[in-house]
Amino acid sequence: MRDPGSELNKLREENLYRKLKYGSSATGRTFNSEDLSLLNFSSNDYLG
């Protein structure tokens, strides 16, 4: 059985470890995440 801690360390060493990014105002047309402002295409009203 593999050790989860060593597997996570291996992913970090290979730059494959993914960190979740948090954002705000996901209900509008834009989604603000850290220093980015992105268009929200996951809404059903993004065309206007």
Identity of the amino acid at 15: N
pTM for the whole structure: 0.45
pLDDT at 14: 96
Under a CB-based contact definition with an 8 Å cutoff, are residues 8 and 17 in contact?
yes
Identity of the amino acid at 25: S
Domains in the chain, number? 1
Quick check: is 30 in a domain?
A: yes
pLDDT at 45: 58
Task: Give 10-residue mean pLDDT values along the chain (48 residues).
Answer: 89 91 68 79 62
Element (H, E) at 12: helix 4-13
Q: How far is CA 1 from CA 4, 16, 45, in A?
A: 9, 21, 47
pLDDT at 11: 94
